[in-house]
Homo-oligomer: A and B are copies of this chain.
Amino acid sequence: MSELRKDIISGHWVILASERGKRPDDFRPAGPEKKEEVPPFCPFCEGNESKTPPEVASLRKRGSRPDQPGWWVRTVPNKFPALNRGLPPERHDEGIFQWMDGVGVHEVIIETPAHLQELPDLPVLHLQDVLATYQERVKSIEEEYQYKYVHVFKNKGREAGASLSHPHSQIVATPIIPKQVNEELYSCERLHRQFGECIFCRTIREETQIGQRLVLRNDHFCVATPFAPRFPFELRIYPLRHSPWFSRLTKTELRSLAQTIKAVLGKLRNILADPPYNFYIHQAPNPNLPHEAWINLRKSYHWHMEIIPVLTRVAGFEWGTGFYINPVPPETAAGFLTG
């Protein structure tokens, strides 16, 4: 069982994932990231279903059986989970130390049976099925109240933290609302009072008018580089319809999001030579929880996606101050992505 611990000064929680236990030798410098080759063995490839924990969901051909070939999107528990399912954990508090059991969910969504087929290579309908799987898993996990926040994310490339190269996304559900998510919720609530409207709705309107940071806009989504991006070519995908929850997207919107993601990841791949990247969804916490009444989430929070290509290193200045140095202005990045 892993453990959650809180840093009393910064207020951040960390997951000490002892089941991923490592010794100093495990950190010897590794070789360079090679251009993707099919590795000798991949547990996520079709035919190797027995090498993962039993699947919790899949989209598969009629008549095919769980944990057998025939699927095109497959969800399995992480074999080395950061958190494990369990009862709501008790919070321990002893003077300056606070901790709780590492209760949570950690799943892997295998996006395709084909090892070399990246997200922008997938047909739109297939990518829509990946997104629908995100939705279904989020909703299913949120039925258990101890999982207060469900985080959907993707690490692509070793530099972006992926340990396996086969295309996959991940879901981690935590028994507390992460500090950064909480701060965003509080901040959006405050900004809603200040501006009399959702800060994301306002951002979408202004970015569309200004145009300089706009990467694309269609019937349901808008993609822009942020005004103050931490990283070069950082991107945000905003839904035009205000909603706090990704899990409430309609099928039409899911289709449009698939088209949008395919277009944007394709652009990044072309302009930046197939960069490693992270993306994640920011949405409101588990809607089945009674949320504090003063946070008028429905009006003030607006779910969205953030995409971070991994092009620069975070270093001592950033770690120590929270300030980021970005050598590419977002207007320049948007120019390259639309040029």
Contact = CB atoms under 8 A, between A and B. Distances in A.
Interface of A: 3, 5-18, 20-24, 27-29, 31-33, 82, 95-97, 149, 151, 153-155, 158-162, 170, 172, 174, 178-181, 183-184, 187-188, 191, 195, 199, 202-203, 206, 226-230, 232-233, 271-273, 275, 278-282, 306, 308-309, 311-317, 319-330, 332, 336
A154 B325 CA distance: 15
Contacts of A330: 16
Given A82-B325, A187-B9, A27 B273 contact: yes
B195 A9 contact: no
Nearest to A156: B316
B10 A184 contact: yes
Given A10-B187, A317-B172, A22 B328 contact: yes
Nearest to A226: B7
B12 A320 contact: no
A202 B187 CA distance: 32
A315 B161 contact: yes
Q: Which 7 A-B pairs have the closest CB atoms?
A: A161-B315, A180-B322, A153-B316, A32-B32, A280-B320, A178-B321, A278-B316
Contacts of A230: 12, 14
How many copies of the shown chain assemble into the complex?
Answer: 2
A323 B14 contact: yes
Contact of A316 (B3, B17, B161): B161
A8 B199 contact: yes
B153 A326 contact: no
Interface of A: prevailing SS = mixed
A35 to B, nearest CB: 9
A195 B95 CA distance: 9
A160 B96 contact: no
B13 A228 contact: yes
21 contacts: A3-B329, A8-B227, A10-B183, A10-B184, A14-B229, A27-B275, A28-B273, A96-B199, A96-B206, A149-B321, A153-B315, A153-B320, A155-B315, A160-B313, A161-B312, A170-B316, A179-B322, A179-B323, A180-B323, A278-B320, A280-B319
A323 B20 contact: no
Contacts of A11: 187
B316 A14 contact: no
Contact of A13 (B10, B155, B323, B336): B323
Nearest to A280: B320
Contacts of A172: 317
A97 to B, nearest CB: 6
A48 B279 CA distance: 43
Nearest to A158: B313
